[in-house]
A and B are shown apart, each in its own frame.
Chain A
Amino acid sequence: MPDTMTKLRVVYGEEQLGLHGAGFDYLFDYGQGPVSLVINGKEWLYRAPQPAFWRATTDNDRGNGFSRSAAQWLGADLFSHVVAMSITADGQTVPQPLAPANNDFGPGATADTVGVSYTYETPTNPVAKVIVRYTVAAGGALTVRVRYLGTAGLPQLPAFGLRLVMPTPTTRFDYAGLPGETYPDRRSGSKQVCTVQGMPVTPYLVPQECGMHMSCDWVRLTRETTLNNADHADTPYTLTVRGADGPFAFSCLPYLPSELENATHLEELPPVRRTVFTVYGAVRGVGGIDSWGAPVQPAYTIPSDQDCEFAFVINP
């Protein structure tokens, strides 16, 4: 028997790579990215994570024309796609495991560490690249490293992060960070442990970017339900995300930016069905000098021609 107490059990499937251990089962689709993160029997992904570039237009964004000048990033948020992926096991590159080559891996494959890396291209002009690298350690610790490659000739980014859509609503979340809804240019308060019930959408008259939490060390999401028809439990269960390179920002909302973007009133948003959890490496300020033209101060913008990298860890 393979040593799955201290090593990862690795399954080189036809379309996905499986990494398994005590209390966790991860599936990495070769074409899309991770499609399943099951921890203690509960699924945490509805679809593969995607790089996040857009924020739903704020009143100030509309007033100063930022959404118009940055519109390419809305397309990038919706339609970026994987153009390359690679796998390493214990530091060794694994050729893409398609049949018949994967016939040789057999049922007993193990590894101490497996890395899966996806390269995304944006539908922008010029094209920009994002590399998301997932590294899984034997105990199931999943480190996610996200890197935007600076590209000249593109507008400032509305946001940069990695978005994880989860199958059912988050019922509460706790985090260590700044209290309330904060942005780089509106970050009052001192770091503390905060609890938020549900996934509140700040009821601005016109739905817009909201719910950002800056300078966080960790966040713990709690859900109670799954989509698994055979799972009848409603016991709360959690997922904890920690910053790997230092503090991070996140939002935990029931809607995608594109859904918020389309609504003129709160009640036009659909019933809450899923969790849209986004970890940000860069957040643009909201501004405030006026709502009809004043730009966000340069210190609070995200330049497109510089790299942006952040990392976080999920522990089972």
Chain B
Amino acid sequence: MEASLAWLDQPETFRVNELPAHSDHQFFASPEEAAAGSSSLTRSLDGQWQFAFAADPELIPAGFYAPAFDEAGFAPIAVPGHIELAGYAKIQYTNTSYPWDGHEFRRPAYTTPATNPQVGQFSRASDNYVGLYRKTFTLTDDWADRPLTIQFAGVERAMYLWCNGEFVGYAEDSFTPSAFDLTPYVHRGKNLIAVAVFRHSTASWLEDQDFFRFTGIFRSVTLQSLPATHVVDLALDARPNADFTAGTLAVTAKLSPVANHAKATVTLADASGQVLATQVTAAQATTTWPTLTVPQPHLWSHHNPYLYQVQVTVTDDTGAVCEVATAATGFRRIEVTPDHMVLLNGKRLIINGVNRHEWSNLRGRAITEADMAADMATIRTHHINAVRTCHYPDQLEWYRLCDTNGIYVMAETNLETHGTWQTPAGIEPTYNVPGSVKQWEAAVLDRAKTQYETLKNHPSILFWSLGNESYAGDDIAAMNAYYKRVDPTRLVHYEGVVHNRQYEDQISDLESRMYTPPAEVAEYLSGEAKKPFLLCEYMHSMGNSVGGLNEYLDLIDRFDDYVGGFIWDFKDQALTVTDPITGQPVVRYGGDFDDRPSAYEFSGDGLVFADGTPKPALQEVSEDYARYDD
């Protein structure tokens, strides 16, 4: 198969030869590895890669992905990282404006006569710069005869992959893992992978989040060597019974390939490692076991984030272990009462949350586990009990941290099209995507599916969010229907439907709004409310702000169907750079890089500064949220 740049212009093309999305369970070659948490089946490709910058698609050197290509024009770059922070392209921050506004006339494909479709909108665009990456790796004897896959945890915004000069596949959806099968292309010894990362594709229309617009391989890259039988996917369905006196766990594993006489054993252990139940069955492509039962289960919640450990062990016909797959689970139930109260484990759920972008003042969104741990410590210390992953899925480690720390998660699909419907003209959706445009539906459904399949086992996730500020139409209704179909155990959230209420019976289990004054919230809740009320964004912590928070918290006492809200937001998005005048470290924001259009300091809305130190307002949040932290 040959790569085609035309895919950049086609909303219908968003994954080519990608492996299906699957759960983020961990897998190991042996029980010993599983116990140590260190797998010999995966290998990180993070580190130094070779890189060249092409200012637009026409300037990509022919055959740059071929092993024989002369790398003279390439230079080292750190992966993960952003092309812009490496100095190759201008750093830019915009809010709702697409980054090309005023530079290029564009409308999304199939929305207006001028773009039906607009051929070459991105594939022949002078502003569509490209990062060209090359990385060699050595396939050692122990890995040489086994299937090999590669996983890119995050690449903005459209990527083409080659291996040893042959085209492998194409991926969009910057914030979820993209995996490819390298088996047909690799051989013992030295191998080359090459990646072309495009700044823009039709995915750019779907990723208009209010943030710095970065490009590149910004999350980890991992090689995975698969055993004779591999647990491709693990689905854990843990539920408490009606009165919480017992829990049931249904486990489904997808195995590939299935060897004759292979067996699959599932064990469930408590937090101390004590095995509570074991079942053995013949391995099948879709393996299930009799439902496991836990009497008097510890219920997972903010104050008691009790996790059970699930282990699936695959053995071959000799009884030798092929693979051990592990994942955590928890028993909890979220439900909506007839009078619109949201309950967790039978008690009223109060969300004292915060929106969190992934951010480092030094690395942008290419954050480290230490960055995440520091964010989590701040959240825990200040009585924040919930995080909305605005406005895209985070690194997988974040969900594990939320599971173990009892932080309720609103898991947001990677979707924002703010600039296609909210303009200086007001709400003007004539070229809104995805809207009800059929050609865009598959792309947004795939984003929902990828998020669900990847994250479905995390007990911390209580809400699936369809995205942010994308208006509402048939396509978002289809996303809602998808989540409802595959997951009856969680609520679905979407705010944008309040701007197009003809879809409100099809979209969102919650009446969700943003920045509504407390008096207006009270007015709504005093009337005929149809759904529980949530503020998915409130208290805009820009600069010296967060006055009047207690008026929102008072709503908790006044209205049982007020669920709470997520403060906007956790951390200032700004970059620490060296001041050319003084040589001192200084903080820069939008517009400081000659970037236009820019939304300037509008990304400085955190409860903590860009370097993670608390803003003065955090003490207010901490004290007010603590009133409900029991």
Contact = CB atoms under 8 A, between A and B. Distances in A.
A208 B547 contact: no
A73 interface: no
A129 B562 CA distance: 48
Contacts of B620: 186-188
Given A59-B601, A188-B619, A189-B623, A205 B517 contact: no
B615 interface: yes
B515 A183 contact: no
A188 B543 contact: no
Interface string B541-552: 111111111010
Nearest to A286: B547
B572 interface: yes
Contacts of A183: 544, 547
B61 interface: no
A288 B551 CA distance: 11
Interface stretch (B5-13, B313-321, B471-479, B581-589): B581-589
A59 B604 contact: yes
Most buried by B among A204, A265, A287: A204
Contact of B544 (A187, A189, A210): A210
A41 interface: no
A14 B517 CA distance: 59
B541 A288 contact: yes
Contact of B515 (A188, A206, A289): A289
For this complex, into which size category does the number of interface residues on chain A fall? Answer: 35 or more
A183 B544 CA distance: 10
B616 interface: yes
Given A206-B604, A265-B587, A285 B545 contact: no
A291 B542 contact: yes
A265 B547 contact: no
Nearest to A60: B545
A266 interface: yes
A108 interface: no
B185 interface: no
- Helix, strand, loop or mixed for chain A's interface? loop
A289 B568 CA distance: 10
A300 B74 CA distance: 59
Interface in A171-189: 179-189
Interface string B498-541: 00000000000000000101100000000000000000001111
B574 interface: yes
A194 B25 CA distance: 49
Given A188-B620, A203-B609, A290 B547 contact: no
A208 B544 contact: yes
Interface in B568-626: 572, 574, 579, 581-582, 584, 586-589, 592, 601-602, 604-605, 609-610, 615-617, 619-620, 622-624
Contacts of B546: 186, 286, 288
A294 B601 contact: no
Contact of A285 (B539, B541, B547): B547
A288 B589 contact: no
Contact of A291 (B545, B572, B617, B624): B545
A71 B320 CA distance: 80
A267 interface: yes
B544 A289 contact: no
A296 B548 CA distance: 9
B604 A296 contact: no
A198 to B, nearest CB: 16
B515 A290 contact: yes
A202 interface: yes
Interface in B315-370: none
Contact of B551 (A204, A266, A286, A297): A297
Interface string A154-183: 000000000000000000000000011111
A267 B586 contact: yes
Contacts of A206: 543, 601, 604
B616 A289 contact: no
Given A203-B609, A205-B589, A288-B541, A181 B547 contact: no
Given A288-B539, A291-B542, A297 B548 contact: yes
A205 B574 contact: yes
Given A59-B601, A286-B544, A294 B549 contact: no
A112 B619 CA distance: 47
Given A204-B615, A294-B515, A297-B551, 17 more contacts: A60-B540, A60-B542, A181-B616, A182-B616, A183-B547, A187-B620, A188-B623, A202-B616, A204-B604, A205-B574, A205-B601, A208-B544, A210-B616, A287-B547, A287-B548, A288-B541, A289-B539
Interface of A: 58-60, 63, 179-189, 202-206, 208-210, 265-267, 285-291, 294, 296-297, 300
Please name the 7 residue pairs, one residue from A and one from B, whose CB atoms are nearest each other, closest first: A185-B547, A181-B616, A59-B543, A205-B604, A188-B623, A286-B547, A291-B542
